[in-house]
Structure 1
Amino acid sequence: MGKSTHFFGQSVFGQLMGLIEEDMVNVCSAKHNGNRYIKRFKTMDHLVSMLFCVFGKCISLREVIGGMIGLAGKTKHFKLNNLPYRSTLSDANKRRNSKIFGEIYNALLKKYDHVISDSRVKSVIGKQVKIFDSTTISLFKDILKCTGRTPSDGKRKGGIKAHTITNVDEKLPRLLWFSSAATNDHMLLEKLELNTDIIYVFDKGYNDYVAFKRFCDTGTGFVTRIKDNASYVIKEENPIGDEIHSGVLKDEIIEIQVKETSQPHPLKLRKVTFYDRVNKREFEFLTNLFEMRADMVAALYKLRWQIELLFKQLKQNFPLKYFLGDNENAIEIQIYCALIVNLLVTVIKKKLKRPWAFSNIVSFCRIHLFNYINLLQFLENPEKDWTIEQNNLEQLSLFERA
């Protein structure tokens, strides 16, 4: 019988860890003194352990340590120098600064930007379209303040809110901030990069007229939905040409009052009313893109759904319901490690010519994490070994009959 043509000298986990340079991890760790006073369990060991937790979908420290102890003697090829004890990993999650893992994530984004970046929308519009939003992850105890009513037993769960900015058509956060679930989303508006080459798309929960004025003053584009109770004055109604999508009902120039100081002052914006035939709903969009076609404004807002798909992808494929620590630092580390795994799998997906669903690649890696299979080669042609084996069996049966 023929040997497997996909056999490789490194396990699948080793190949995935090969995408992360140890020197890069050490540089990120040094910025925050991640290895100071640490003799054995260095940042690289910590990172590998937590990535194993994410890939293996482990839900407790005992599962992580039990799984890794079984790998004794086989750890060198995936850069693990010291197997952790349960208390060692718990202490590391509590004490090693979570910002180190954020630095590692950003360094990997920079390294693989040429692989993951998608410039199709930018080539059409001429500007980088960025989407921002937040998602709340419920916690098992009141670690971070959460919103909502207090339960009858008086015990409230906490919640951590991840504020995210991503480029359109990329299911990868480009910037990320954490806060308690009770924190107002408007905090993100103060952290945005403002320049003429960017268009931000966001939902109406971020409506802030002072921020809109900053966008206009800096030439930064934005598209959002207007609030139902918004107060404005219609100044002009633009004609709707025959070339414009028939779903555009109105294209108006409006004036709102910005209360930046004690004396309100007017700001002109554009309101586009669009009827979505699929959802049978009418939407009103607010923007400062006065030169853009009205139907393009509606199309830009539709792209906002991409960030919802990112949140769905993260929550469905990675263990973000069970955390290995009961403190804010440990939770942030685990979320950052889920994002790193999300990035690594995205890089693999982008390198493949054969179309694979993201969730299928994650499942394959989890099942074959420590099998010695050439990951890219196998994913390009997974039926190859099966076909060869079947041909060999057919030839054998012919000889036996002869």
Structure 2
Amino acid sequence: MSKSNHFSTKSVFGQLISLIDDSLIKKEVKKCDSDRYTKRFKTKDHLISMLFCSFSKCTSLREISGAMLGLSGKTAGFQLNHIPKRSTLSDANKKRDVLVFENIYHELLKQYGSFLSDSRIKDIINKQVKIFDSTTISLFKDILEGVGRNPKTGKKKGGIKVHTVVNADEIVPEMVWFSESKKHDHQFLEKLKCDENTIYVFDKGYNDYRAFEHFTNHKTGFVTRIKDNASYIKIEELDINEQIHNGVLKDEIIEIEVKRVRKYRNYD
């Protein structure tokens, strides 16, 4: 049996970097032409530096540069050819297109995605379960005040809203979408791709009957909480199997009337 040379005499960070195939990086660098006009600080060095930043929880470029400088003589273990100065990192972050890193990320996700979770929901129900929710980041109150909501308290907060979609059997986001914080959550639903192999799970903050009709027409499953004042007609009440968890109170087929007074984005 041949032995793996990934982990011999390497630091933990070096072991992680060794899982990124050099040919993958070269392929994406060539595709995006990301090393054009670059003499020393190549895309691979840039990638390793920013991964070091993430794993070491550095909070500034100066901190990254200083921490990596302390590793002089040990960089061969994680394939770093050039330790960057703060200004070098800053220039690279400004000038190098992020697309090359995005492509590397997606290729790695394809390669190692099956190892990210011990339980594969898709293998059980033969559908991909996708969960999404939103959070609001309040920042630059004076600058972004115009994109904030108008709460009853009168204290308007500026910021951005972040919607994140995650596959239930993975630990990394499939999609991240930014919007003004004053936009209602349900407007994000039009960004989702519908197909019969997907089930979306989300909170009632995204409640939108027109979107629900759109999901139904495209045979896309969804699980959410219904609003307390929802108006619907019960079509049929189903029996609850004894094997079902006793937290299930009712299993009903219902019909909800969808108003067609106004045209609504992509759901028509």
TM range (shorter): 0.7 to 0.9
Is 1:91 aligned with 2:83?
Answer: no
Alignment of 1:80-229 (within 5 A): 80-118=80-118, 120-137=120-137, 147=148, 158-159=159-160, 161=162, 163-229=163-229
Task: Compare 52-61 and 167-176 and name the one that shifted more.
Answer: 167-176
Aligned to 2:62: 62
- Which whole-Å CA distance do the structure 2 matches of 1:182 and 1:90 have between them? 32
CA deviations over 1:148-193 (Å, ceiling 9, x no partner)? 579xxx99774462x3222224322233334454554345423323
Q: CA deviation at 1:224?
A: 0.6
- Which whole-Å CA distance do the structure 2 matches of 1:183 and 1:263 have between them? 18
Q: CA deviation at 1:35?
A: 2.3
CA separation of 1:206 and 1:158: change in aligned 2, threshold 3 A? closer
CA separation of 1:206 and 1:28: change in aligned 2, threshold 3 A? farther
- Which whole-Å CA distance do the structure 2 matches of 1:93 and 1:183 have between them? 30
RMSD: 3.3
SS of 2:249's partner is strand
- Which whole-Å CA distance do the structure 2 matches of 1:97 and 1:44 have between them? 13
Aligned to 1:15: 15
Count of matched residue pairs: 253
SS of 1:253's partner is strand
Say if 1:210 and 1:258, in contact at 8 Å, map to a contact too: yes
Say if 1:234 and 1:252, in contact at 8 Å, map to a contact too: no
- Which whole-Å CA distance do the structure 1 matches of 2:126 and 2:82 have between them? 49
Say if 1:140 and 1:157, in contact at 8 Å, map to a contact too: yes
Aligned to 1:240: 239
CA separation of 1:26 and 1:227: change in aligned 2, threshold 3 A? farther
SS of 1:249's partner is coil
What letter corresponds to residue 51 of structure 2 in structure 1?
A: L
The TM-score normalised by the length of structure 2 is: 0.78
Q: CA deviation at 1:200?
A: 1.2
Question: Relative contact order, CA 8 A, sep 6+: which one is greater?
Answer: 1
In proportion to residue count, which structure has more helix?
A: 1
- Which whole-Å CA distance do the structure 1 matches of 2:196 and 2:251 have between them? 23
- Which whole-Å CA distance do the structure 2 matches of 1:37 and 1:134 have between them? 40
Alignment of 1:221-370 (within 5 A): 221-230=221-230, 232-241=231-240, 243=242, 244-260=244-260, 262=262
SS of 1:24's partner is helix
CA deviations over 1:279-305 (Å, ceiling 9, x no partner)? xxxxxxxxxxxxxxxxxxxxxxxxxxx
Say if 1:118 and 1:170, in contact at 8 Å, map to a contact too: no
CA separation of 1:260 and 1:14: change in aligned 2, threshold 3 A? farther
What letter corresponds to residue 164 of structure 1 in structure 2?
A: T
Say if 2:148 and 2:157, in contact at 8 Å, map to a contact too: no
Task: Compare 88-97 and 202-211 and name the one that shifted more.
Answer: 88-97
CA deviations over 1:316-341 (Å, ceiling 9, x no partner)? xxxxxxxxxxxxxxxxxxxxxxxxxx
The TM-score normalised by the length of structure 1 is: 0.54
SS of 2:173's partner is coil
Aligned to 2:47: 47
Gaps of 5+ in 2: 1-6
CA separation of 1:181 and 1:155: change in aligned 2, threshold 3 A? closer
CA deviations over 1:16-72 (Å, ceiling 9, x no partner)? 111112332233344444223222222211111111111111122211111112223
